[in-house]
Amino acid sequence: MDSVNDMILLAEVTETGSFTRAGGRIGMPKSRVSQRIAQVEARLGLRLLNRSTRQVSLTGTGQV
């Protein structure tokens, strides 16, 4: 997937605080949202999101 769509997806996850809600907004299953974000992080070699069972938030690196 291209970088622009990846950044839009990351913004949706950050704004909603949830893979499920972000996926609902853009019509993508939660599992695919999670996979795409993991691919972006792997490609960059950086962890962008803190994940918990209840919400997702940006790491310090992700905020930059």
Q: Are strands 49-51 and 56-58 parallel, antiparallel or unpaired?
A: antiparallel
Rounded Cα–Cα distance for residues 23 and 45 (Å): 23
The full set of domain ranges for the chain reads 3-63
Distance CA 55, CA 13 (A): 10
User: What distance in Å separates the CA atoms of residue 54 and residue 35, rounded to the nearest whole number?
Assistant: 18
Per-residue pLDDT of the chain (64 residues; tens, 9 = 90+): 578 999 999 999 999 999 999 999 999 999 999 999 999 999 999 999 988 888 888 777 766 6
User: Taking the model in full, what pTM does it have?
Assistant: 0.82
Architecture of the structural domain at 3-63 = Orthogonal Bundle (1.10)
Alpha-carbon distances of 11 from 6, 63, rounded to whole Å: 9, 11
Measured over the CA atoms of residue 58, residue 8, residue 32 and residue 42, the dihedral's sign is negative
